[in-house]
A and B are shown apart, each in its own frame.
Chain A
Amino acid sequence: MPLSLTRRALLLSSAALLAMQALPTSARAATSGRITIAADSEPAQLNPAIAASNGTFFIASKVIEPLAEAAYDGTGLRPLLATGWEGSEDGLSVTFHLRDGVRWHDGKPFTSADVAFSALQVWKPMQNIGRTLLANLTAVDTPDAKTAIFRFSKPTPLQLIEKALPVVSSVLPKHVYEGTDIARNPANSALIGTGPFVWGDYKPGQYYLLKRNPSYWQPDLPRAEELVFTVLPDRASAASALEAGDVQLAAFSAVPLVDLARIGAVPGLAVITKGYEALTYQLIVEINHRNEPLANLKVRQAIAHAIDKKFVRDTIFLGHATEATGPVPTNDPTFYTSDVTPHAFDIEKAKALLDEAGYPVGADGKRFALKLLPAPYFTETRQFGDYLRQALAAVGIEATIVAQDAPGHLKAVYTDHDFDLAVAPPVFRADPAISTTNLVRSGLPAGVNFSNQGGYSNAELDKLIDTALTTLDPAKRVELYHRFQQLVTQDLPLINVVDWTFTSVAATQLSGLATNPRWAVSNWAELALA
């Protein structure tokens, strides 16, 4: 049959398409009270009670609140859903007093039953951090609607529980989750909480929209009408969006370090380095102790001496980092000690140590070869991998870089142990017991990510880690963790290079930024557009 389409029609329709695109000049005034934030990725799990991770908190902590948030002053904690708490003498229970007059976004009152449900049904069995931290939690008693008593089977230090509260204790509404498949509850992607913002909308690949909670339990808060997290996977675009005024805030170093100086000079924008103190990332070299040369302490010492931490700080991190002395970051207010074994940058000493260890320079100028796997999550971890390869070459160790994407890297290092050296960026979470001791503790099964999968085993260190887990006296725990830092720097199960926190770039009209040391992942109730 003949088609009615002719050449003329074809050309005409092409011209019509052309005409449709005629530029309309758009007025781009910012909606009043709306703050737009650049988000570089979309978390795979939005429920912060299930995924206690910074990517999730960045968006979800504005809707779902923990029992307490980190603070700059006083005890280092600010009560949120709990008003106070105390531990028993024997360390077997912690009593939380809960805030009165708090309502869920659907209007139901917040009670101790919600806390008990979250702790026993979600944090302990499902959450990446809670599964180990709350392993000894046996029951949560609720004598009345405003009291929750956590019962442990072994003495549990209150200090550890307190330090973990901001990360572990996001409370979910029992009436929404009870009796459902918690992992697939629709409320996981349309969150219901008690926080200053209620869930508005989520368009995958485009944006998250949060709206002001008019009946928030803190009077006169939040100060912003709307938060929009716009998904901008390209970091240069995030910088452009800030400059153009389309975005008012980019957190977690969404603007590349090399662009910071330029962006900071743009009128109306400011670079902010505060608000990440309790979110310190540690750049470490993971070591596979199954490798024969690496099992030798002298070789590990030589590698530590071959790394110029100052160069890493100044050239890779452009000054936005601190040289690490050991497994606790220097900015930690409680546990840090500088009384550890230092490993100053000294190439000659490194060479001498390698000679002593029995690895002389071969005919080809090399001592031995290694496989180096830099974690792909940050530009800086990849760049440090390149640097480490050169630093090792300078002392005669030939390293071959194996670059993979995140899942490939994770499997190779933490499940298959197919590495000699790896570069990792673990997070220090306010207490070494939360996620730091795992990096050196022996006996963890294969497949535990961000843990000691290098086959390192040190009975003294293991014993110390276990003792600190059940030591109730805070001063004694601090002492134990000082010893922990000394042992790790002596025996070098891993090498700490630098510690870094992130930067934000914010429009100068914004106020209420960086109000606590976990600010980027806290509830932003005070954030306002002037």
Chain B
Amino acid sequence: MTAVLRLVISRLIGGIPVLLIVLAGVFALLEAAGGDAIDAYFASIGGGDAALAAQLRAEHGLDHSALQRFLFLLGHLAQGDLGWSVAQGRPVAPLIAERLPATLALMGSATAFSFTLGSGLGILAGRRPGSALDRLLSGGALLLHAVPGFWLGLVLSVVFAVKLRWLPVSGIETIASGKTGLARVADIAAHLVLPVATLTLIYLALFLRVMRGAMAEVWAQEFVLAARARGIAPRRILLNHVARTAVLPLVTLLGLQSAAMLGGSVVIESVFGIAGFGRLAAEAVAGRDPALLLAVILVSAVLVVGCNSLVDLAYGLLDPRVRPVAHRREV
């Protein structure tokens, strides 16, 4: 897999200017919001006097200019040091490490499910565009997509966790259960069912609609007519000729969607009490904590670049036309 690694690294290096602009923009936005980390701290502890505020500001270097603080943060980031979180009173790196597994589990499975289910149902809907089944699936998916995420999450939670009591209401695992190994994996999986189902239902529509739309287009192309003329079985035409061609835009969407998933889960994380990246970013903003926020963004950027590189490689596998020249086989 060194190819992936090489691709990720070269992308990241190429992305440094963009990343710098994003980091500077985020820092400037956080500066423009009223109040600083000490105001946020006082808001949470019920106030304090001016001398204490000045003392705390000096301790955390908040008495320096915004530019000085930004350059200080950048300097440390460049050395691989994520810095100190003022809001949480701890170094940033372990904070990120704590939140990453939950986020990856939640987002990874939600993306995988919405992609597989969405494309599968998209094939069903695109089998005969305009049919009753197509209308039912497309309409239903659109309806789900239009539902606010937190509402869908709460409804699922009320039905399956509160009324039926099949699944836990919140958290990523049973608190201090002492479970290990497979029992723990099963415990975490049970906790993930509802949040993953919520996210899947919301994002499924996107994949379904794109798949269906692409298939509708492919049906009209001549090679399908040719395939039919050659007497190829309808099922084979559907899967090997139409669906295979139509899946390409979906893979592109998968890359884009992985970025949206990382940032778009703050509401679901709150509803299901999961300590993930979305909530960490929200806490960083509420606590006016630029070091933490920049670190979250940096790590997210690495993840997104990684996902997109994987998608590009998968693209090459699926479509011979976009394979790097050296690897192209003669057809």
Chain B residue nearest to A45 in the complex (CB): B45
Chain B residue nearest to A208 in the complex (CB): B175
Binds A, one of B15-23, B188-196, B299-307: B188-196
A75: CB under 8 A from chain B? no
Chain B residue nearest to A43 in the complex (CB): B44
* B48, B54, B99 — most chain A CB neighbours (10 Å): B48
Q: Which residues of A contact B169 (CB under 8 A)?
A: 237, 240-241, 244, 246
Binds B, one of A23-31, A355-363, A500-508: A23-31
Q: A18-B113, A56-B45 are in contact. Are A445 and B170 (CB under 8 A)?
A: no
- 1/0 contact string of A233-248 vs chain B (CB within 8 Å): 1101100110111100
Are A205 and B99 touching (Cβ within 8 A)?
yes
Chain B residue nearest to A56 in the complex (CB): B45
Binds B, one of A212-220, A308-316, A383-391, A446-454: A446-454
Give A422 Cβ to nearest chain B Cβ, in Å: 13
Are A377 and B112 touching (Cβ within 8 A)?
no
Chain A residue nearest to B36 in the complex (CB): A407
A228: CB under 8 A from chain B? yes
Q: Which residues of B contact A407 (CB under 8 A)?
A: 33-37, 39-40, 43, 286-288
- 1/0 contact string of B256-284 vs chain A (CB within 8 Å): 00000000000000111101100110000
Bound complex: CA of A435 vs CA of B49, how far in Å? 12
B331: CB under 8 A from chain A? no
Are A41 and B44 touching (Cβ within 8 A)?
yes
Q: A26-B187, A200-B176, A232-B273 are in contact. Are A14 and B112 (CB under 8 A)?
A: yes
Are B157 and A233 touching (Cβ within 8 A)?
no
Q: Which residues of A contact B168 (CB under 8 A)?
A: 26, 28, 246
A-B contact count (CB 8 A): 229
Bound complex: CA of A472 vs CA of B89, how far in Å? 41
Q: Which residues of A contact B48 (CB under 8 A)?
A: 128, 131, 448-449
Bound complex: CA of A17 vs CA of B157, how far in Å? 23
Binds B, one of A2-10, A65-73, A104-112: A2-10
Are A406 and B43 touching (Cβ within 8 A)?
yes
B245: CB under 8 A from chain A? no
Are B50 and A446 touching (Cβ within 8 A)?
yes
Interface residues of A in 174-207 (CB under 8 A from B): 183-184, 188-189, 200-201, 203-207
Are B34 and A404 touching (Cβ within 8 A)?
yes
Are B317 and A10 touching (Cβ within 8 A)?
yes
- 1/0 contact string of B107-133 vs chain A (CB within 8 Å): 011001101100000000000000000
Are A244 and B161 touching (Cβ within 8 A)?
yes
Bound complex: CA of A131 vs CA of B166, how far in Å? 52
Are B279 and A233 touching (Cβ within 8 A)?
yes
Bound complex: CA of A278 vs CA of B41, how far in Å? 24
* B50, B90, B270, B271 — most chain A CB neighbours (10 Å): B50
A412: CB under 8 A from chain B? yes
Give B305 Cβ to nearest chain A Cβ, in Å: 19
Are A230 and B3 touching (Cβ within 8 A)?
no
A36: CB under 8 A from chain B? yes
Q: A17-B109, A26-B190, A200-B176 are in contact. Are A55 and B34 (CB under 8 A)?
A: no
Bound complex: CA of A232 vs CA of B269, how far in Å? 10
Q: A7-B317, A406-B40, A407-B288 are in contact. Are A44 and B87 (CB under 8 A)?
A: yes
Are A240 and B158 touching (Cβ within 8 A)?
yes
Interface residues of B in 21-64 (CB under 8 A from A): 33-37, 39-54, 59
The interface on chain B, measured as residues whose beta carbon lies within 8 A of the other chain's beta carbons, has a size of 75
Q: Which residues of A contact B39 (CB under 8 A)?
A: 406-408, 410-411, 415, 449
Bound complex: CA of A10 vs CA of B317, how far in Å? 10
Are A23 and B190 touching (Cβ within 8 A)?
yes
Are A21 and B109 touching (Cβ within 8 A)?
yes
Q: A7-B318, A44-B89 are in contact. Are A18 and B275 (CB under 8 A)?
A: no
Are B44 and A44 touching (Cβ within 8 A)?
yes
Are B273 and A447 touching (Cβ within 8 A)?
no
Are B49 and A448 touching (Cβ within 8 A)?
yes
B165: CB under 8 A from chain A? yes
B67: CB under 8 A from chain A? no
Chain B residue nearest to A188 in the complex (CB): B89
Bound complex: CA of A210 vs CA of B150, how far in Å? 31
Bound complex: CA of A200 vs CA of B170, how far in Å? 21
* A41, A205, A231, A435 — most chain B CB neighbours (10 Å): A205
Q: Which residues of B contact A209 (CB under 8 A)?
A: 175-176
Are A55 and B45 touching (Cβ within 8 A)?
yes
Chain A residue nearest to B48 in the complex (CB): A128
Are A45 and B89 touching (Cβ within 8 A)?
yes
- Of B40, B41, B175, which is within 8 A of A230 by CB? B175
Q: A55-B45, A237-B170, A377-B43 are in contact. Are A205 and B98 (CB under 8 A)?
A: yes
A250: CB under 8 A from chain B? no
A1: CB under 8 A from chain B? yes
Bound complex: CA of A52 vs CA of B34, how far in Å? 25
Q: A240-B162, A409-B34 are in contact. Are A53 and B112 (CB under 8 A)?
A: no
Interface residues of A in 420-456 (CB under 8 A from B): 427, 435, 444-451
B211: CB under 8 A from chain A? no
- Of B41, B49, B51, which is within 8 A of A45 by CB? B41
Q: Which residues of A contact B286 (CB under 8 A)?
A: 405-407
Give B80 Cβ to nearest chain A Cβ, in Å: 22
Give B110 Cβ to nearest chain A Cβ, in Å: 10
B232: CB under 8 A from chain A? no
- 1/0 contact string of B154-190 vs chain A (CB within 8 Å): 1001100110011111111001100000000011011
B252: CB under 8 A from chain A? no
Are B34 and A230 touching (Cβ within 8 A)?
no
B95: CB under 8 A from chain A? yes
Q: Which residues of A contact B77 (CB under 8 A)?
A: none
B88: CB under 8 A from chain A? yes
Bound complex: CA of A20 vs CA of B313, how far in Å? 25
- Of B53, B175, B192, B317, which is within 8 A of A3 by CB? B317
Bound complex: CA of A408 vs CA of B29, how far in Å? 13
Are A205 and B280 touching (Cβ within 8 A)?
yes
B5: CB under 8 A from chain A? no
- Of A21, A51, A232, A410, which is within 8 A of B193 by CB? A21
B13: CB under 8 A from chain A? no
Q: Which residues of B contact A23 (CB under 8 A)?
A: 166-167, 190, 193
* A6, A17, A427, A447 — most chain B CB neighbours (10 Å): A447
A15: CB under 8 A from chain B? yes
Chain A residue nearest to B44 in the complex (CB): A44
Q: Which residues of A contact B172 (CB under 8 A)?
A: 206
Bound complex: CA of A7 vs CA of B90, how far in Å? 44
- Of B59, B115, B170, which is within 8 A of A14 by CB? B115
Measured CB to CB, the residues of A under 8 A from B are: 1-3, 5-7, 10, 14-15, 17-18, 20-21, 23-26, 28, 36, 41, 43-45, 51-56, 126, 128, 131-132, 183-184, 188-189, 200-201, 203-207, 209, 226, 228, 230-234, 236-237, 240-241, 243-246, 377, 404-412, 415-416, 427, 435, 444-451
Q: Write 24 A-B pairs (CB below 8 A) sorted by A numbering.
A: A3-B317, A6-B317, A23-B166, A26-B168, A26-B186, A26-B187, A43-B44, A44-B41, A45-B45, A56-B45, A184-B89, A204-B88, A205-B99, A205-B280, A207-B171, A232-B170, A234-B150, A236-B154, A245-B165, A407-B43, A407-B286, A435-B47, A449-B48, A450-B47
